[in-house]
Structure 1
């Protein structure tokens, strides 16, 4: 059997000693993606809170060792996998497609294998991946992209969603021009006109739409296929107690995000330079991302569904998924409570709607209004939210899509009047609803607000 350490030592002697430790010093190198904000509980937010370092300091007091943590920031999961294969990153957080690639490539080596040990955030319908186009684009549905240039990071979840969505629309990969680009490059290309569309993961679609630089063409929730991010660890990393402390710290960060959503959003915004309104879209109560650590069965099933696509484009050869997934670390952290984990979002929107004076009880209707100079207030339903917006200076307002539940910006949504006001994330979804419901009408956001008297 090939041994990764032997291969590396044969060509790069320095790599053999890069992580050398004295008996009393333990190193931990963490690869994360600061702007992929559904990994923040294992990356950006966790780092800013210092929870891991605090836990390792306490561990050091018990065992007499010194623990040193190094954080390395990347824009995608691919370079994290490359560094893990080289033995230079011990823990990495990444999306579902990169996780599959990580597991496949590392299983080729005896001492280079990795384990999938926890989730960070997920969306059961796939809304974390979207396709956006320039605001003035003539494209109004996916079929309008035939023959066009689409930027995507090949092998990413955003790329997978784009290809699956195009196929469902009757468009094969030969009918479009996929540009394999990093998210930032694709975003610049979209703004300059170098590409006609961008298929990416969070937070790029939300950031571009919020900034008025794009509009949403396709919401990944239409696929109804879970998309998620998680944590992988080098199997050969010799300090299991450090990994369990990492997961405890990740759970601490997840609890903080649930209990202090606005403060968490501000911390992530400060660290990433993303607008706080965009971070809160995904990470706030009832947000697009459900943050929870357990490796739930629908998430693992989604990996089995995703793997054939990655094989078809040559990104993975083979993968023993059962050997890759290892929830033993989480079971050690959670104990018997691990089996009681739920698919429900542990941080729904709650409270009393101050405008309509009713309790917020239905997560399928609940929204939030962020009034400038004030705190975020809950809305029981879209009509109550529209009333709350009237006459106010608003930083952002968030509503769930009437069909999929995808949380989106109220002023970027497409609105339908059908006795009540219904928001949709995409124009095509709103038009489909109107076509199926005689008497309903597509109206502007301004009209919806005006009619909310």
Structure 2
């Protein structure tokens, strides 16, 4: 069957079959949002050789990249969205079949590695990866989080085959195992290192940025399809760009939409997709993301999951995203140089002053309110929180930014350092908080301790 055609006899019908990973929420702008908002229909070409064409748009959702790749290789799907590691396996699988796929754009990622993480059961005494020597750590094998875990173990100077016991476990299995304390730690990808703590049965002790292992999610296409229908590939990316712009403008609204489709709580979605979120939505091929693809291939060879090299220069292409950005009136080369997180332009909800320094940003999402409130500091936010609760209102979530790494945290699970002047700084790790306090002075406290002096008496 001719690629992309619904049948050999019906050349006026072109298939556009997209494989998505809805619950991998950083694929949202390459799948879920495009589908739910019907953005692909808006951007598909209708003139020139596409005049009079009928598009057979098909969507299929997957919980991981491997089965999505199987259907792409089988010719059942034209596009797919997945992370760097499964994306590389996609390229390897196509190569083994005597064909090619193309990695056409990133969708969301972190050049530092945030998004992957390691969690432990809530009641575990473990506070850092250094305490996991000799322990059992589960991870979805051959995933981007597996690569992060191996890199983190290497940084400790450990042998991954003798100093820790690494077992394979999908997130849907790891969740109950953590609840039952059947495993001592679990490494996972977006959104599970945040979702499990949010649901109350795990604590995040390690963020992928601490391993400095760049990671991303991106879009792929069958190379034969792309050569036959380059305008459709560009249209798909134009739809992704529009989805990105929409969620950037109204992250709360679209975090709610993602939740309605996936069941993943809006508070977790906002942690990633809101301003200064855990990862940056960026569709350019930064050198760090190209390196992430190369690293994944090398890791697969180490794990004996790949026995041949994949030519990154032929697999990764910026040809289509350059065109899509140009059509949208944007400059690829300028965006390639931009490493900023999604910026926040807001006023402190207490003082009314512009927030110009986000290093101590804190946020509160009040139940029943459509948008998140922003504060220039944790102490401003926690004072406001006490007043909000005194008014009888409920709070959905409190966020804080890690003072050292800049990643967004659930404040309820963060550690804080209170300086002598009452200034609070938030940290993911107790150890990092202790190092900060030792170097700069101050007292290390948990969330309850940070709140205690600021509670308004009822």
TM-score clears 0.5: yes
Shift of 1:204: 0.8
Mean Cα deviation higher: 85-94 or 327-336: 327-336
Aligned residue in 1 for 2:218: 230
Q: Is 1:389–1:449's contact at 8 Å kept on the other side of the alignment? A: no
Aligned residue in 2 for 1:132: 119
Does the alignment pair 1:177 with 2:165? yes
Shift of 1:207: 1.1
Among 39, 45, 58, which residue is 1:51 paired with?
39
Does the alignment pair 1:319 with 2:319? no
Aligned residue in 2 for 1:12: none
Shift of 1:225: 2.7
Map 1:50-129 onto structure 2 (within 5 A).
Answer: 50-56=38-44, 63-110=51-98, 112-129=99-116
Q: Is the alpha carbon distance of 1:59 and 1:373 closer, same or farther for their aligned partners in structure 2, counting shifts above 3 Å?
A: farther
Aligned residue in 1 for 2:320: 329
Aligned residue in 2 for 1:146: 133
Q: Is 1:431–1:442's contact at 8 Å kept on the other side of the alignment? A: yes
Shift of 1:451: 3.0
Any unmatched runs of 5+ in structure 2?
A: 389-393
Q: Distance in 2 between matches of 1:310 and 1:364?
A: 37
Aligned residue in 1 for 2:251: 261
Does the alignment pair 1:40 with 2:43? no
Shift of 1:435: 4.0
Mean Cα deviation higher: 17-26 or 370-379: 17-26
Q: Is 1:143–1:171's contact at 8 Å kept on the other side of the alignment? A: no
Q: Distance in 1 between matches of 2:149 and 2:287?
A: 24
Mean Cα deviation higher: 243-252 or 307-316: 307-316
- What is the aligned length? 438
Shift of 1:367: 3.0
Q: Distance in 1 between matches of 2:264 and 2:381?
A: 25
Shift of 1:414: 0.9
Mean Cα deviation higher: 63-72 or 83-92: 83-92
Q: Is 1:291–1:345's contact at 8 Å kept on the other side of the alignment? A: no
Q: Is 2:33–2:243's contact at 8 Å kept on the other side of the alignment? A: yes
Shift of 1:19: 5.4
Among 339, 342, 366, which residue is 2:333 paired with?
339
Q: Is 1:98–1:155's contact at 8 Å kept on the other side of the alignment? A: yes
Shift of 1:138: 2.7
Map 1:154-233 onto structure 2 (within 5 A).
Answer: 154-174=141-161, 175-233=163-221
Among 298, 311, 320, which residue is 2:288 paired with?
298
Mean Cα deviation higher: 101-110 or 247-256: 101-110
Q: Distance in 1 between matches of 2:66 and 2:76?
A: 14
Q: Is 1:219–1:426's contact at 8 Å kept on the other side of the alignment? A: no
Q: Distance in 2 between matches of 1:61 and 1:451?
A: 69
Q: Distance in 2 between matches of 1:150 and 1:161?
A: 13
Aligned residue in 1 for 2:451: 449
Aligned residue in 1 for 2:429: 426
Does the alignment pair 1:242 with 2:232? yes
Q: TM-score, normalised by structure 1?
A: 0.91
Q: TM-score, normalised by structure 2?
A: 0.90
Aligned residue in 1 for 2:263: 273
Q: Distance in 2 between matches of 1:65 and 1:324?
A: 29
Shift of 1:141: 1.8
Shift of 1:61: 11
Q: Distance in 2 between matches of 1:115 and 1:16?
A: 15
Q: Is the alpha carbon distance of 1:184 and 1:19 closer, same or farther for their aligned partners in structure 2, counting shifts above 3 Å?
A: farther
Q: Distance in 2 between matches of 1:59 and 1:285?
A: 38
Q: Distance in 1 between matches of 2:454 and 2:343?
A: 25
Helix, strand or coil for the counterpart of 1:288?
A: coil
Moved over 6 A (4+): 15-18
Aligned residue in 2 for 1:373: 368
Q: Distance in 2 between matches of 1:72 and 1:428?
A: 43
Aligned residue in 2 for 1:413: 414
Q: Distance in 1 between matches of 2:50 and 2:147?
A: 46
Shift of 1:17: 11
Map 1:18-29 onto structure 2 (within 5 A).
Answer: 20-21=7-8, 22-29=10-17
Q: Distance in 1 between matches of 2:240 and 2:341?
A: 15
Deviations, residues 7-32 of structure 1 (Å, cap 9, x unaligned) = xxxxxxxx999953521111121111
Any unmatched runs of 5+ in structure 1?
A: 6-14
Shift of 1:224: 2.3
Q: Is 2:108–2:217's contact at 8 Å kept on the other side of the alignment? A: yes
Aligned residue in 2 for 1:307: 297
Shift of 1:382: 2.4
Q: Is the alpha carbon distance of 1:140 and 1:249 closer, same or farther for their aligned partners in structure 2, counting shifts above 3 Å?
A: same
Mean Cα deviation higher: 179-188 or 125-134: 179-188
Mean Cα deviation higher: 418-427 or 279-288: 418-427
Mean Cα deviation higher: 350-359 or 297-306: 297-306
Helix, strand or coil for the counterpart of 1:391?
A: helix
Aligned residue in 1 for 2:391: none
Q: Is 1:183–1:200's contact at 8 Å kept on the other side of the alignment? A: yes
